[in-house]
Structure 1
Amino acid sequence: MFAKVAFAALLSAMTLPALAADCEATIEGNDAMQFNMKEMTVDKSCTKFTVHLKHTGKLPKAAMGHNWVLTKTADKQGVATDGMTAGLTKDYVKADDARVIAHTKVVGGGESDSVTFDTSKLAAGENYTFFCSFPGHWAIMTGTLKLSS
């Protein structure tokens, strides 16, 4: 009996890593207005996805702050434009903007923030863009997010 239980435990332990999806990503922004990645992929088995944003620079957020904002690609420019008027105190994201799927707060050099969002907000085949909505950054600090098939 003990051998059967031990064998079953061994089998389940061996299969767990293969089943576990990577449901998080870490992205870095720096003082040169750059993200360290241009693409993220969310595994379709993830029910939630977490993005960790790290600012590897030294400048304060008022001078070179970064956030991570996710929208449908078609909504990027409008969200960025509206975010400029929202200001730093609102993390350059218009309050209650339905076009924003997820966003972090604005962080300065040496700071970090994370956001977790429900992946049911993503649709297969839709184009998604992440970007920094700090004024002047959104055209350069941008990338794509895809839902795996």
Structure 2
Amino acid sequence: MQMKTHAIFLGLALLGTAGWAQAAPDCTIRLGSNDQMQFSQKTLTVSAACESITLKLTHTGKLPVAAMGHNVVISRTADADAVARDGLKAGAVAGYLQAGDKRVLTATKMIGGGQTTSTTLAGTALKAGEDYSFFCSFPGHSMLMRGKLVVTP
């Protein structure tokens, strides 16, 4: 009888642990883009509890990077327009981002149709409750290819 009781407690403990492991935050953001200047989502969500955050961008279109390149830039919403404007001045060679721009929290490289890229940033770079945006810095894209990044506690 005592052995059966131990087995039940062990089973309950393992079940509780399994539930906790499944509740861990998803620290990978997946985002698609296409030849119609669209991201697959308008809002992205990530937990402030993530030690590091990976952002994966897939370009499902067919056009080359020179014609319809996409990247993903994350900045504070208040900085997004200025980052995009300064990126235009930086040009294609710089991936339409000003070198060393501290307003850019992270950015993927520019990719063309059929390509995938990713970037990683420290979870401490983002704070729950702050206002963040993501956008594409390719010329003419930032106004259409823009969304909100929500950081949850």
TM-score normalised according to structure 2 size: 0.88
Work out whether 1:12 is the aligned partner of 2:12: no
Shift >6 Å, 4+ stretches: none
Aligned-pair CA distance for 1:39: 0.5
Q: Separation in 2 of the partners of 1:13 and 1:122? A: 28
Is there any run of 5+ residues in structure 1 with no aligned partner, and where? Answer: none
Tell me the SS of whatever aligns to 1:105. coil
Map 1:123-138 onto structure 2 (within 5 A). Answer: 123-138=127-142
Is there any run of 5+ residues in structure 2 with no aligned partner, and where? Answer: none
Aligned-pair CA distance for 1:36: 0.8
Q: Separation in 1 of the partners of 2:70 and 2:114? A: 11
Aligned-pair CA distance for 1:131: 0.1
Aligned residues: 148
Work out whether 1:84 is the aligned partner of 2:84: no
Cα distance change, pair 112–6 in 1 and its aligned pair in 2 (3 A): same
Which of 41, 46, 51 aligns to 2:50? It is 46
Bigger mean CA offset, 39-48 vs 69-78: 39-48
Aligned-pair CA distance for 1:53: 0.2
Aligned-pair CA distance for 1:114: 0.4
Cα distance change, pair 124–10 in 1 and its aligned pair in 2 (3 A): closer
Q: Separation in 1 of the partners of 2:59 and 2:133? A: 19
Query: What's the counterpart of residue 70 of structure 1?
Result: 74
Q: Separation in 2 of the partners of 1:25 and 1:137? A: 20
- Quick check: which has more Rg, 1 or 2? 2
Q: Separation in 1 of the partners of 2:148 and 2:39? A: 12
Q: Which amino acid aligns with 1:27?
A: L
Bigger mean CA offset, 136-145 vs 35-44: 35-44
Q: Structure 1, residues 82-128: CA drift from partner, whole Å, max 9, x if none?
A: 11121222111110000000000000000010011112112232211
Q: Is the 8 A contact 2:25 2:50 kept in 1?
A: yes
Cα distance change, pair 124–12 in 1 and its aligned pair in 2 (3 A): closer
> RMSD of aligned C-alpha atoms?
1.8
Query: What's the counterpart of residue 123 of structure 2?
Result: 119
